[in-house]
Amino acid sequence: MSQIVDARPFAYEFAPERAALVVIDMQRDFLEPGGFGETLGNDVGLLAPAIAGTARLLRAARAAGMLIVHTRECHRPDLSDCPPAKRGRGAPSLRIGDVGPMGRILIAGEPGADIIPALAPLAGELVIDKPGKGAFHATDLHALLGARGVTHLLFAGVTTEVCVQTTMREANDRGYDCLLVEDATDSYFPAFKQAVLDMVRAQGAIVGWTADSHQVAAALRA
């Protein structure tokens, strides 16, 4: 049975049994002091508002029996999947693989790479470790979604203009109908978030739709 979200630029229709909620990189390294986000000079508190919206989405999606996918941006301990160009970019106080307050920065299995406790995956939910910004790059995500008949993706997570937007555009190119949940995503640069919201829904939802978590939850309850 299809549900209809009062979205922009027009209504978004999806069947929960053929949809997935994709929660992008809600990790300690990005959201907590001492992590990679802060080493880049960012105010990690700017991402905190997305936690409540994402939690609301998770509750609604779980109650509706939707597939839940969590992603983590992280690398192998030997950094064999981290290109030198990525590790060397910018001027952080600690680089990927360096030891920080939460272990080695963005390394699989380290405390900082974990999803924050408030949004921790439940048993049976998919967790995708990704070496790139997009969740389809060098992962099995597309195959896992295809095997489950998923055609629609709802997105939450951080940061809006980097990993979330990259994954949403990758999904669009693969034929998924995508909705970005406005209050369940945030950026260290608020203007960048607004720009992404405007871009994805421009030209008749050229990349996808946007709506807030209350609107999505209401549709799932309908």
Q: Are 166 and 134 a contacting pair, CB within 8 Å?
A: yes
Is the backbone peptide bond immediately before 160 cis, with ω within 30 degrees of 0?
no
Q: Out of 29, 74, 82, 130, which one is annotated catalytic?
A: 130
- Any alpha helices (H) in 1-140, and if so which ranges? 28-31, 36-39, 49-63, 84-87
Q: Is 130 marked active-site?
A: yes
Amino acid at 135: A
User: Among this protein's residues, is 98 annotated catalytic?
Assistant: no
What are the angstrom distances between the C-alpha of 199 and each of 26, 117, 177, 181, 194?
23, 32, 15, 14, 9
25 is catalytic: yes
Catalytic residue of the set 74, 82, 163, 178: 163
Give me the active site residues, please: 25, 130, 163
